Amino acid sequence: MASLSTKVSLYCTANSKTASFGAEGNVILQDDSDGNGPYIKTWSVDGLTKPTDAQLATYETAGNTQETNNTVRYTRKAAYGDIGDQLDEIFKDIDAWKTRIQAVKDANPKS
């Protein structure tokens, strides 16, 4: 299930706006630990009305895809290693670098 923050971000992006979260942001999310999950506590995105639950639900699939791809990107980035080490590896043996990078991509496919 996509997080509320991801769905809010997608809703804003679809309406040419940007959501910023936290005390200084234009959207504050809260979870009262009452079993109802997180909700939008404060909404002050200029020129865009607060989304309904139904509107946010339409971003579930896109949100799941985005979160999965973010996890893949993070995993790949960690597996690729430091860029300086990669450049050194390319200089020394580009074919070995290509094989290693392709193995990381194959092990962590995007949706």
pLDDT band per the 50, 70, 90 thresholds, residue 110: confident
The string of pLDDT tens digits covering residues 33-60 is 999 999 999 999 999 999 999 999 999 9
Residue 27's H or E segment, with its range, is: strand 27-30
Q: Tell whether the model's pLDDT for residue 111 goes beyond 90.
A: no
CB contact set of 26 (below 8 Å; sequence gap of 6+): 19, 20, 43, 44, 45, 46
User: Taking the complete model, does pTM exceed 0.75, yes or no?
Assistant: yes
